[in-house]
Amino acid sequence: MMELRELYEELILDHNRNPRNYPRKPDGANHTAHGFNPLCGDEFTVHLHVKDGVVQDVGFEGAGCAISTASASLMTEAVKGKSVEQAESLFANVHKLLTDESEQDTTDPTELLGKLSVLIGVKEFPLRVKCATLAWHTMHAAIKDDEDTVTTE
């Protein structure tokens, strides 16, 4: 467990200091959504270029805490090149990983999420779960062409 915690901290710090696909709006972006967490002030806009049902490119703009920025960065790397269905499945699995309080699921998160499973460390800090899920909810809204501002409150 200590190794996972160290990996979590290292990966979060790396993606916060050097966020991938930030700040940028990809050429041809045709799906965009805005997300805001009023509790802590995290605010991101996620841009997707979807063609033939595949996320060709993704970027984000905005500002947030280390966890929200790192999660947004990890999200962009994870969904780029995936089908919309795969991106939605990743959203559902990350959301479940971070918000499911049942202890009955014995599935190893690395089987479903690979390196995204390091986000499980956020569960130790319940107030930060909303930070970690903001970009994911915003990406989900972008896919659905939801024009309302996404909030994790």
The CATH number for 113's domain is 3.90.1010.10
Confidence (pLDDT) at 61: 98
**Is omega for the bond preceding 23 within 30 degrees of 0, making it cis?**
yes
User: How many domains in the chain?
Assistant: 1
Confidence (pLDDT) at 107: 59
Q: How far apart are CA 138 and CA 127, in angstroms?
A: 18
Does some domain include residue 109? yes
Residue ranges in the chain whose pLDDT is less than 50? none
Q: Does pTM top 0.85 for this prediction?
A: yes
Confidence (pLDDT) at 108: 58
Does some domain include residue 149? no
Using alpha carbons, list the distances in angstroms from residue 128 to 41, 100, 116, 119. 12, 14, 16, 11
Using alpha carbons, list the distances in angstroms from residue 78 to 1, 20, 89. 24, 11, 11
Does some domain include residue 61? yes
Does some domain include residue 151? no
Confidence (pLDDT) at 4: 61
Question: Which of 58, 78, 95, 73 minimizes the C-alpha distance to 11?
Answer: 73
Domain hosting 69: range is 2-144
**Phi–psi pair at 83, nearest 5 degrees:** -70, 160
Helices (H) and strands (E) in the chain, counts: 5, 4
Confidence (pLDDT) at 153: 79
